[in-house]
Amino acid sequence: MNKMIGIVGGVGSYAGIDLIKKIYDHTDAKSDQEHLPVSMLSAPHKVLDRTKYLVGEIDINPGIAIADIIDTLSMHGAEIIGIPCNTAHAPKIFNLIKERVPENCKLVHLVEEVGKYINENFPTIKRVGVLGTTGTFIANVYPEVLAKYGIEAIHPSEEIQKLFVHPAVYDLDYGIKAHSNPVKDKARNDLLMAASYLARKGVEAIILGCTEIPLAIHEIQIENSMVIDGTEVLAKALIRESIKE
């Protein structure tokens, strides 16, 4: 029997919806009954911003609330857990979550799955660009994971991160968190500009390393670099773990 997938919603809110959609898109099902059991609990009012915590603007670790949500998902039958937030996988947050996860739950690590996905499917790729939040940037989340596979991770310059990538996610007037559906043209264009910057640095692939960003970028290739959607990789990993005997 397939295990129930539990999704921590609200980190950001549309990212959880996007993950559910991609789980269903990639499930080999021909009827309602053949789809996998999925439960999402979205409690954004409880989970503080992960980037604000990592840059020192707030003191309470968001991992505490995320772990509480996972506990509730577990009580409702979820056994395979996904967190559609790259920044929440910064060790300072993720390690706290991991310590508190119920024993019957398997916590799937989004960033580790991206590393394995590249290594297994594109073993010749050794240099990738990463678009993500400033929190993911400063926590060095992707470089540390990808280095285990001999892959170099390249971020945008600090100036591009500050002026284009971060506002594209957080700006109150046009950022994706404020305007997720549809995404504002300025947010999309700023992210595409940053992606082009990475492509011109000679990266072989660009990871959409913030779960808000696939809401804006749907391209499979930017200039000469293929695009890897971290949310899609997580969806496939959750499906794999759900159906594993």
231 and 208 Cβ atoms separated by less than 8 Å: yes
In sequence order, what are the residues at sequence separation of 6 or more whose Cβ sits closer than 8 angstroms to the Cβ of residue 190?
164, 165, 167, 168
CATH class, range 111-229: alpha beta
CA dist., res. 133 & res. 95, Å (int): 19
CA dist., res. 180 & res. 41, Å (int): 19
115 and 151 Cβ atoms separated by less than 8 Å: yes
**Strand arrangement of the beta sheet that strand 4-9 belongs to:** 38-42, 4-9, 78-82, 106-108
In sequence order, what are the residues at sequence separation of 6 or more whose Cβ sits closer than 8 angstroms to the Cβ of residue 92?
53, 54, 61, 139
CA dist., res. 52 & res. 74, Å (int): 28
* Burial state string for 122-151 with b = 16 or more CB within 10 A and e = fewer than 16: eeebebbbbbbbbbbbbbebbbebbeeeeb
| Per-residue confidence band for 196, with pLDDT thresholds at 50, 70 and 90 | very high
Q: Could you tell me which CATH number the domain at 4-109+233-243 has?
A: 3.40.50.1860
Mean pLDDT score across all residues of the chain: 97
Assess whether pLDDT exceeds 80 at residue 245: no
**Strand arrangement of the beta sheet that strand 127-131 belongs to:** 152-154, 127-131, 205-208, 225-229, 221-222
The model's pLDDT over 110-165, given as tens digits with 9 standing for 90+, comes to: 999 999 999 999 999 999 999 999 999 999 999 999 999 999 999 999 999 999 99
Helices (H), the chain: 13-25, 50-54, 63-75, 91-100, 110-121, 134-138, 141-147, 158-160, 166-170, 185-199, 230-243
The model's pLDDT over 49-90, given as tens digits with 9 standing for 90+, comes to: 999 999 999 999 999 999 999 999 999 999 999 999 999 999
* Burial state string for 60-86 with b = 16 or more CB within 10 A and e = fewer than 16: ebbbebbbbbbeebbeeebbbbbbbbb
pLDDT value at position 25? 97
Outline which parts of the chain fall under CATH 3.40.50.1860.
4-109+233-243, 111-229
pTM of the model: 0.96
CA dist., res. 93 & res. 50, Å (int): 8
